[in-house]
Structure 1
């Protein structure tokens, strides 16, 4: 009987909870979770000028003719000083064989494994025969990878999974392409730390960045039985598409609204149960408005509107593209775990129009302790 089969699958899924037990980050703020988080909540910014003296001369010259010359670059150096050195993470000789984004991914994955203290010893535990799943969905790649992994665990396909996103795209060709589409910030080339301005009326585009975010997901009882620290539980996951335009969202944010409603339904939660949203908010003219309207359409009329906080980490790190959802997902996990709301940098004048930004706390400029 198909109905009985569907019921069995549904009950099996609902009984398998998914938790996060390990975190790994490579960001323009720092390499490492603790150091990146500390700088984020201290309102530091990892965005630099591509004409900066911190770049190698041969690298700097490649960017001089571009209309946007700001970016979030991963800093080289030792890990214990917040830098990235591939020799600390890769086997000898592998650096020459691997693309930079792969190096970032391995670094973040090893951090997550170490953080989770997941070092299986038995032959059974060492079997890595679960789903090997690649996601390529542009700026949602990292978030989709984590969400898909959580569903694999819910379905019983695996007990432990590593998931996330990685990007190393601060290249002249990449920047030229986005600049041609008029997507990048160009007004702040002489003030790079002011260039990424989520929700601010003076925003003029996103700042391209690089890095990686990786998490270790586990089935709840698996994590509990081995005494693992649990940062958070994944309660709901929602996806959507508005089929409107290749790059521009619907002005009313209908696509984003649908994804959030599906996540709430999946989690069996109502809008009043939510008190923090880490927004995608890339600092583009159309995207920020549409996303904010999507949030308002769900939460403004609920009793949660007076307490809901909304912030974007992109003022601090720029847009990590395929790694954005994973890195910012980790910041969201840390916000919950530490009860701290990370700030939206450069948010001096919300808008335009300002009337769209009266409903919620957008955590401007400085982190806040959650009440």
Structure 2
């Protein structure tokens, strides 16, 4: 029998606040964290809005051994901060986690701010001006390494980069380690800090981001709405602590949710566009359900779906097709929302953050809305919980992540077993 895996801690850094409690309060209030960006030169940018994090500063890391703010890119700072919150909730020690604790984190563009800043130094001031900390700051494993240093996790420490699916793959990697008997505990999820002039310009020139709402930022992220025209980029981290059932019970920990299933697939269709048939996206969803020993039509009425729901014209349509393929006639019984309507798109951190949303929905019996839903789109005709939260005691929560490169990840969470 496969080892059961439970979530015991949650940590979040977002444009809606730097704690899970604050994030959840804001989500249920239907508040958007999207605004005019405050920390960039916007004078020549086509897009001037995003989900910016406030309230993290160097003093937040003063009590941690080994790590310091000046040796961390913004993405690593977010990860260390959120991991601390998750560990505190779990009841695990904040130091000396030891050899049976892993750290696996996802990010799509880790270290982008450092890359931009040091490239500017090189071009404007010459090679001697480049910081000797450049590589440790921008290397893809920097966030995971700093989390392991901060909290003394000596098991496998890895970085995963699969665009918007990164933190979903990171979580699955940890599950597999646990089922192979390698570790008992893992700090996992993702982090991202790509709100830079380089990041914004690149996505804007791809025509992937919305351009219509610079003057109305809170209305900009509008998944499933007929007037959507692109995603809104955000920064932050979503970190969870997961444990084997045996370890959790032996130490007397409290489970928040169980990870009951997962599925992965790749479109092999196009580097950045999803396959409109949703063949592989639906396969990852179906695998998540069936790996839990369940059948889609039997659980549809008891399932909340936190959709990838980016607000791009093609993604939301394809995701709807995929859900219909999996759940068939019962797809109309699903309750679906996109928290990206309020948080924006955190790229590699999205699956980690949205796993937290799924777990809070299971815990509280309240489902967050999809805000900015004003004009129905016949291609996106599932119940998207428009504009207002909904009380619903669901048993399962499905978290979809569909990334550039055609990477599809689906995680299925369940309420923890009372036994």
TM-score (norm 1): 0.87
Query: What does 1:148-167 align with in structure 2 at a 5 Å threshold?
Result: 148-167=173-192
Q: Is the 8 A contact 1:249 1:255 kept in 2?
A: no
Confirm or deny that 1:330 pairs with 2:356. Answer: yes
Identify the residue that residue 8 of structure 1 maps to in structure 2: none
Once the two structures are TM-superposed, the CA of residue 315 in structure 1 deviates from its matched residue by: 0.5
Corresponding residue of 2:327 = 299
**Is 2:383 aligned against 1:357?**
no
1:67, CA displacement in angstroms? 1.3
Among candidates 368, 371, 382, match of residue 342 of structure 1: 368
| 1:24 and 2:24 aligned | no
Q: Compared with structure 1, are the counterparts of its residues 265 and 345 closer, same or farther at alpha carbon in structure 2 (3 Å cutoff)?
A: same
> Which of 44, 68, 73 is the aligned partner of 1:65?
44
Query: 1:69 and 1:159, CA in 2 relative to 1: closer, same or farther beyond 3 A?
Result: same
Structure 1 pair 117–251 and aligned structure 2 pair: CA distance change class (3 A): same
Asked whether 1:281 is paired with 2:297, we answer no
Q: Is 2:118 the partner of 1:96?
A: no
Measure, in 1, the Cα distance between the counterparts of 2:153 and 2:19: 26
Given candidates 194, 208, 226, the residue that maps to 2:233 is 208
Partner Cα separation in structure 1 for residue 160 and residue 275 of structure 2 = 24
Q: 1:1-371 maps to which residues of 2 (within 5 A)?
A: 11=1, 14=2, 16-50=3-37, 55=38, 59-60=39-40, 62-76=41-55, 84-91=56-63, 94-119=68-93, 128-271=153-296, 272-274=298-300, 275-302=303-330, 305-351=331-377, 354=378, 356-358=379-381, 360-371=382-393
The aligned residue for residue 3 of structure 1 is: none
Once the two structures are superposed, residues 279-311 of structure 1 have per-residue CA deviations (whole angstroms, 9 ceiling, x without a partner) of 001000111111111011111323xx3431010
Structure 1 position 123, deviation (Å): 7.6
Change (3 A) 1:161 1:86: same
Contact 2:316 2:380 in 1 (8 A): no
**1:236 is paired with a residue of what secondary structure?**
strand
SS in 1 for 2:285: helix
Structure 1 CA distance for aligned equivalents of residues 97 and 30 of structure 2 = 44
296 and 363 in structure 1: CA distance in 2 versus 1, 3 angstrom threshold: same
How far 1:97 moved relative to its partner? 1.5
Q: Is the 8 A contact 1:20 1:215 kept in 2?
A: yes
Higher normalized strand content (fraction of residues): 2
- Aligned-partner SS, 1:277: strand
Taking the aligned partners of 1:229 and 1:99, their CA distance within structure 2 comes to 33
CA distance in 2, matches of 1:123, 1:173: 38
* TM-superposition CA deviations, 1:20-77 (whole Å, max 9, x none): 0000000100000101111011101100012xxxx2xxx34x222111111000022x
Larger CA deviation: 65-74 vs 124-133: 124-133
RMSD of aligned alpha carbons: 1.9
Q: CA separation of 1:262/1:89 partners in 2, compared to 1, >3 Å: closer, same or farther?
A: same
Q: Distance in 1 between matches of 2:31 and 2:58?
A: 24
**Structure 1 portions without partners, runs of 5+:** 1-10, 77-83
Distance 2:154 2:77 in 1: 23
The CA deviation at 1:339 is 1.0
Structure 1: distance between partners of 2:36 and 2:48: 6
Distance 1:48 1:128 in 2: 36
Conserved? CA contact 2:61–2:68, under 8 Å: no
Structure 1 residue 326: deviation in Å?
A: 0.2
Distance 1:122 1:230, change over 3 A: closer
Shift of 1:124: 7.7
